[in-house]
Amino acid sequence: MEEKVPMTKQGYQSLNKELKHLKFEERPRIVAAIEEARGHGDLSENAEYHSAREQQSFIEGRIQELEGALSHAQVIDTATLSGDKVLFGATVKLSDADTEEESTYQIVGQYEANLEKGLISLLSPLAKALIGKELGDIVEVNTPRGEKSYEILSVQYI
State residue 2's pLDDT score: 66
Please name the fold of domain 78-156: Chitinase A; domain 3 (3.10.50)
- Closest by CA to 152, choosing from 141, 140, 137, 142, is 137
CATH architecture assigned to 7-76: Orthogonal Bundle (1.10)
Q: Which residues of the chain have pLDDT under 70?
A: 1-2
State residue 140's pLDDT score: 95
CA atoms of 155 and 158, how far apart (whole Å): 10
State residue 36's pLDDT score: 87
Domain boundaries of the chain, sorted by first residue:
7-76, 78-156
CA atoms of 2 and 4, how far apart (whole Å): 6
CB 156 within 8 A of CB 135: no
Domains 7-76 and 78-156 equal at CATH topology level: no
State residue 96's pLDDT score: 93
CA atoms of 9 and 17, how far apart (whole Å): 12
CA atoms of 92 and 97, how far apart (whole Å): 15
Rama region for 136: left / alpha / beta (φ>0; ψ in -120 to 50; rest): left
CA-based Rg of the chain, rounded to a whole angstrom? 21
